[in-house]
Amino acid sequence: MLTVKNLSAELGEFKLEGVSFEVPKGDYLVLLGPSGAGKSVVLEAIVGLVPITKGTIILNGRNIERESVQHRGVGLVFQDFAVFPHLTVRANIGYPLKAAGFSKVEAEEAINAVATKLAIVHLLHRKPDTLSGGELQRVAIARTLVLKPLILLLDEPLSSLDAQLRSEIRALLRQLNREGQTIVHVTHDYEEAISLAKNVAIIHKGVIVQTGNPKQVFQNPKSPFIAELTGVRNFFDVKVRSVTGSDLRHGVTPKGLDIKFYGGANGASGYILIDDKSIFLSVQQTDTSALNSIMGEVVEVIPSRIGCEVVVDAIEKIFVAVTSESLDHLGIVPGKSVWLAFKASSVRFIEG
């Protein structure tokens, strides 16, 4: 297990402050945050490339923050792969073994084993400038895994790859984790986190702001920042008003949109979140059990991978996920009047 507790570090004007999280053996933790949040600094502090000013880093019961990089038992794959262009793939993978004092026979065995595991045996004789991005990523991972680190640290491993190669490397990373490799992976990409993480830690301005499994974090973000980062488009400041004799609440936005939901004390201020997939869009008001029924005007239609995102001006801008078939069937175009319906139970309230 990796335990990072109250970790602080300074890098120029940037500061990590009190970063804490745990990574059990066999876990796949994704550290998710926007550019400049401190994700890479956390990895570099764990591996020993950035000095810490406070805190502890404990790996399997061993305090490692004062140990040298090569003795920590962690391996970092850099975002730019950092392979040696003048060396063959075999020599690149073998470089850390040579530095660690492995004999030629031991090194060959280790190189062949990790090359087989990562399906790059056929590349061992080649130079990096002849490889694709996905092949380079496999080589970089192989070079890190050849010393059998207890923790594999990945710095934005998919950011420079196209869609097909990202899918290929995601499958490889899942397989490594299934085989028992503990992984800490940093990214700014919410979908990347969804597809790989067993647990997630959200970092913002050098501070961990929420942790949990993907369902806990992505379905119950604790702030508008986390909601936006994790793909929630519909979140609004509200003032809560209760309904006498009922658990139903009204949340009124600054522009005057009234949204019904359950939970929250009368008079409380906070935020409401509405999943864009929970909103039913129609061109006429329909008879429905949904307590929220709002008329608006389409202002934009944005293509997405699963259909389209329709932006509706309904006092506030509301985003609705719609299939391409429904879009065509309903004749949804900018300027068209539409109705939005969604259940009170589909609205989440965050006090604060």
| HSE-CB for 306 with a 13 A CA cutoff | 6
Cβ(226)–Cβ(209) below 8 Å: yes
What band does 338 get if pLDDT is binned at 50, 70 and 90?
very high
Question: What is residue 352's predicted lDDT score, i.e. its pLDDT?
Answer: 67
Question: What is residue 289's predicted lDDT score, i.e. its pLDDT?
Answer: 87
pTM of the model: 0.81
Considering only residues 315 and 162, tell me which one the structure prediction assigns the higher pLDDT: 315
Q: Rounded mean pLDDT of the chain?
A: 91
Q: Burial level of 325, CB count in 10 A (0-12/13-18/19+)?
A: exposed
Question: What is residue 245's predicted lDDT score, i.e. its pLDDT?
Answer: 63
Which residues have C-beta within 8 Å of that of residue 12, sequence separation ≥ 6? none
pLDDT tens readout for residues 59-112: 999 999 889 888 899 999 988 878 899 999 999 999 999 888 899 999 999 999
pLDDT at 305 over 80: no
pLDDT at 155 over 90: yes
Query: Strand locations in 245-291, DSSP E?
Result: 248-252, 258-262, 269-274, 280-282
Considering only residues 103 and 350, tell me which one the structure prediction assigns the higher pLDDT: 103
pLDDT at 270 over 90: no
What band does 228 get if pLDDT is binned at 50, 70 and 90?
confident
Q: How many residues does the chain have?
A: 352
Q: Burial level of 87, CB count in 10 A (0-12/13-18/19+)?
A: middle
Domains and CATH numbers, the chain: 2-228 (3.40.50.300), 235-351 (2.40.50.100)
Helix/strand/coil for 132? coil
